[in-house]
Amino acid sequence: MSDEYTATVKQDNFQSWFMDKLLMGMTWPEYLRKLITPFNLVAATILSIGLPLMAIRFTQGLASVTDASNDYPWGILLGWGLFSGVPLSATGFVMATAYYIFGFKRYHSLVRLGVLTGFLGYLFAVIYLLTDLGRPWRIYFPMAVGFGTASVLFLVAWHVATYLTVQLLEFSPAILEWLKARRVRKWAMMITIGMTIAGIILSTLHQSALGAMFLLAPGKMHPLWYSQYLPVFFLSSSIYAALAMVIVVSTLGATFLRDKTDQTFLGNLDPLTLGLGKGAAVGIYVYFALKLIGVAHDDHWNLLNTPYGRWFLVEMLCFVLLPGLIFSLGVKKQNAAIVRFAAFSAVLGIIVNRINVSTIAFNWLLPNHLNHIIPPWKEAMIVLAIFTLHVLIFRWILNRMPVLREHPDYQESH
Amino acid sequence: MNDRSKEPVSKEEGAGEGTNTDGPEQRIKNGMNRRAFLGTVAAIGGTAMVGSGTLARASSDFPGYPNSYGLLTDFTLCVGCRSCEAACNRENGLPEPQKPFDDVSVFEQTRRPDAHAYTVVNRYENPKDKNLPIYRKVQCNHCKEPACASACPIHAYNKTPEGAVMYNEDLCFGCRYCMIACPFYVPAYDYESALQPKIVKCTMCYETRVKHGKVTACAEACPAGAITFGKRDDLIKIARKRIEKDPDKYIDHIYGEHEAGGTNWIYLSGVPFEQLGFPANVPDKPPIELTKGFLSSVPLVFTIWPALFGMCYAAVRHQDDVCNEKIASHKKEEGK
């Protein structure tokens, strides 16, 4: 009889745990009813097209969904997913460094959001990569089977794998608070500084390594984008990309998940946004200066007045300098809305740059080049589906774990 | 036509030099020992992130394997018969092509090596004589310091001491960075395969022929003597002699002597190489030189960053402590 009793209690416990943790305190019917929203319907439509395409890719080969060819081995899956995704995920390392190492203590309410954005960004960069790899089940080969120590990609592989783990550890206190694992959380907190410094090392190296990957192909890239400073360009732009991205994500969180935020988060958001905007402006000006140095170093001024040169100028002026000026304007006027607008444009600028380097400037000499780089709809749909999954999982976590708010039990513990 | 029949020496030159292998086993053995040794050093050191993809070694320069084999294609001799394509296809057991090897309609398009062909011949207009087109054979150049090997994160490429750049399907996860890195657009990928996609490229008939010092299938098949097999050093000399002997026929450039650090497959032509689709902007530096600087900064970041950022952390903590002490002493004074 007592056994039966324990069993029922256990079952009840599980049921309430399940409802509390996964269904956000609702019952199944309530939860399912709440899921029917216009946003979710759009997401479901995208996934219902994208996921079958993904299945086709894995059963019939890359040729069935991408236009990848022998001259164009990489397409939008990597140009968007890896080369744009990774700099926009520098949020974890930039926010943790600012807060834990440099002592920007006021930014506390944004650190966890930055770390989560970074962690998920890297996780999904790996998912894009797995979709693009010819034999994704061999993803661990650089770690265990063959060591191409002279390869920049070897470094990227090791660092992205290690850094993914580091970021999971950095985010683990939030997971452990959600699961109410108090003691494990304490251990997780103890390694914070070590993990943050590990994050700086790994990020410095792999953010720049993504640029260094293209150093191997000088003859194939347009000289305005090819530069021996590519690693520095990639690293320095990732820093302002991160600051802009934190503004973007926090804005979206405060708008669409307002009930998951707390007063600390909402009350501090505007002043913190202005502070981040100031940092982003400085970051953009540094990057802009570096890019000028790059052109001057190779003496490529004469190339600016060519078709590709004009596109280079559009990138530099409209997608780099202009967001910087808007940031400065917003900071000067103490207007968080302007800073937010600048942040969205800066993020767009980063994507433009990475697509330029990996796709538009690459192979520019091949005949009919610009026709070759338009992604086929199937590949674009797969990218859209992975991105949708990214947003859904992001929302799932923000809905449940203490990210946009502090857990009441742990408020004094940092 | 006169050019083609006039040069019976070419094949003999090559074959003669090719078979003249005074003690290659010894040399290869030495090479292997050096490789094994340096590989171990690199593995232990951990910091030796720099080096040719084929040789895990410190960041010193690699002059190339001495006495390695190579090939010399002389485009002034090629008649576009595609015998080399057919021989290559047979030698490597590749699938039957859609159009037979004697079909000249393939020349209407510029082709490239792909998943089904290690080598292709393309036709170009001859600016000197419109009726006498120029044919160019394309295949892997077997660089002395290959970009593909420098790019590969899993060491799936290997430069053999005999000169061939070999690819090992068993190690490849299909990132295709080698294709990005190759300055000559050589490696191809079979995107059609879902479960066993792999890189496809010329092997210099390494396993079946060159390993044993034998001439490659394409060179053997060439009826015009346009492809000469031999030691790379000797081929350079032969090429120089041909240019010297006939400066009007050849342009004064041996493509591959210096391009991308030098290739084991070199070329002679009567017209500038750009006109035959050769990339003209390939630096003479081996591509790996371009990433060496970056990779050598890696161990520095690992050693300096913890100290630097640790110090920043300590400085901020120190400031906090000073601040707290001040507050505490103020409170004490107020208390008095």
Tens of pLDDT along chain A (414 residues) come to: 456 666 666 677 777 877 777 888 888 888 888 888 999 999 999 999 999 999 999 999 999 998 879 999 999 999 999 999 999 999 999 999 999 999 999 999 999 999 999 999 999 999 999 999 999 999 999 999 989 888 999 999 999 999 999 999 999 999 999 888 888 888 888 888 999 999 999 999 999 999 999 999 999 999 999 999 999 999 999 999 999 999 999 999 999 999 999 999 999 999 999 999 999 999 999 999 999 999 999 999 999 999 999 999 999 999 999 999 999 999 999 999 999 999 999 999 999 999 999 999 999 999 999 988 899 999 999 999 999 999 999 999 999 999 999 888 776 555
Q: Which residues of B touch A208 (CB under 8 A)?
A: 294
Residue A411's pLDDT is 67
Residue B106's pLDDT is 93
Contact yes or no for A101 and B313 at CB 8 A:
yes
Residue A8's pLDDT is 67
Residue A333 lies in a domain: yes
B41 touches chain A (CB under 8 A): no
Residue A15 lies in a domain: no
Q: Which residues of A touch B48 (CB under 8 A)?
A: 149
Contact yes or no for B153 and A209 at CB 8 A:
no
Beta strands across the sheet bearing B227-231: B227-231, B69-74, B265-268
Residue B268 has pLDDT above 80, yes or no: yes
Share of chain B above pLDDT 90, in %: 74
Residue B31 has pLDDT above 50, yes or no: no
Q: In Å, how far is B118's CA from the nearest CA of chain A? A: 13
Residue A30 lies in a domain: no
Residue A389 lies in a domain: yes
> Domain check: are B233 and B306 in the same one?
no
Q: Which residues of A touch B180 (CB under 8 A)?
A: 73-74, 213-214, 216-217, 220, 362
pLDDT tens for A290-300 read: 999 999 999 99
Contact yes or no for B173 and A205 at CB 8 A:
no
Comparing alpha-carbon positions, the chain B residue that sits nearest to A217 is B181
Residue A206 lies in a domain: yes
Task: Give the span between the Cα atoms of B48 and B56, in whole angstroms.
Answer: 8
> Domain check: are B71 and B102 in the same one?
yes
Residue A9's pLDDT is 67
Residue A190 lies in a domain: yes
**Range of the structural domain that residue A312 is part of:** 38-406
pLDDT tens for A56-98 read: 999 999 999 988 799 999 999 999 999 999 999 999 999 999 9
Task: Give the span between the Cα atoms of B190 and A181, in whole angstroms.
Answer: 50
CATH code of residue A274: 1.20.1630.10
Task: Give the span between the Cα atoms of A92 and A118, in whole angstroms.
Answer: 5
B193 touches chain A (CB under 8 A): yes
Instruction: For residue B220, give the 3-state DSSP assignment.
Output: helix
When pLDDT is cut at 50, 70 and 90, the band that residue B290 belongs to is very high
Domain count, chain A: 1
- Three-point CA angle A294, A297, A298, nearest 5°: 90
pLDDT tens for B207-259 read: 999 999 899 999 999 999 999 999 999 999 999 999 999 999 999 999 999 99
> Domain check: are B45 and B103 in the same one?
yes
Give the burial string for A375-406 (b: 16+ CB within 10 Å, else e).
beebbbbbbbbbbbbbeeebbebbebbbbbbb
pLDDT tens for A161-198 read: 999 999 999 999 999 998 888 888 888 888 889 999 99
Residue B59's pLDDT is 59
Task: Give the span between the Cα atoms of B94 and B201, in whole angstroms.
Answer: 11
Task: Give the span between the Cα atoms of A57 and B111, in whole angstroms.
Answer: 27
> Domain check: are B270 and B329 in the same one?
no
> Domain check: are B219 and B236 in the same one?
yes
Residue B11's pLDDT is 40
Domain count, chain B: 2
**Contact partners, residue A215, CB within 8 Å, separation at least 6:** A152, A228, A230, A231, B290, B291, B294
Which of B172, B288, B302 has the CB atom closest to A150's CB atom? B288
Task: Give the span between the Cα atoms of A327 and A340, in whole angstroms.
Answer: 8
> Domain check: are B152 and B275 in the same one?
yes
Question: At B228, which helix (H) or strand (E)?
Answer: strand B227-231
Instruction: For residue B250, give the 3-state DSSP assignment.
Output: coil
> Domain check: are B266 and B321 in the same one?
no
One-letter amino acid for residue A228 of the chain: Q
Contact yes or no for A155 and B295 at CB 8 A:
yes
**Three-state SS sequence of chain A:** CHHHHHHHHHHHHHHHHHHHHCCCCCCHHHHHHHHCCHHHHHHHHHHHHHHHHHHHHHHHCHHHCCCCCCCCCCCHHHHHHCCCHHHHCCHHHHHHHHHHHCCCHHHHHHHHHHHHHHHHHHHHHHHHHHHHCCCHHHCCHHHHCCCCCCCHHHHHHHHHHHHHHHHHHHHHHHHHHHCCCHHHHHHHHHCHHHHHHHHHHHHHHHHHHHHHHHHHCCCCECCCCCCCCHHHHHHHHHHHHHHHHHHHHHHHHHHHCHHHCCHHHHHHHHHHHHHHHHHHHHHHHHHHHHHHHHHHHHCCHHHHHCHHHHHHHHHHHHHHHHHHHHHHHHHHCCCHHHHHHHHHHHHHHHHHHHHHHHHHCECCCCCCHHHHCCCCHHHHHHHHHHHHHHHHHHHHHHHHCCCCCCCHHHCCCC
- Closest by alpha carbon to A382, among A45, A51, A21? A51
**Range of the structural domain that residue B320 is part of:** 297-335
Q: Chain B window 219-278: which residues touch A at a Cβ cutoff of 8 Å?
A: none
Contact yes or no for B294 and A73 at CB 8 A:
no
pLDDT tens for B69-101 read: 999 999 999 999 999 999 999 999 999 999 999
Give the burial string for B92-111 (b: 16+ CB within 10 Å, else e).
beeeebeeebeeeebbeeee
Helices B288-296 and B298-335, interaxial angle, to 10°? 30
> Domain check: are B177 and B199 in the same one?
yes
Task: Give the span between the Cα atoms of A151 and A147, in whole angstroms.
Answer: 9
pTM assigned to the model:
0.88
How many contacts, defined by CB atoms under 8 Å, are there between A and B? 192
Comparing alpha-carbon positions, the chain B residue that sits nearest to A64 is B192
Q: In Å, how far is B87's CA from the nearest CA of chain A? A: 23
Residue A342's pLDDT is 98
One-letter amino acid for residue A148 of the chain: G
Residue B327 has pLDDT above 70, yes or no: yes
When pLDDT is cut at 50, 70 and 90, the band that residue B30 belongs to is very low
The chain-wide mean pLDDT, for chain A, equals: 92
Residue A288 lies in a domain: yes
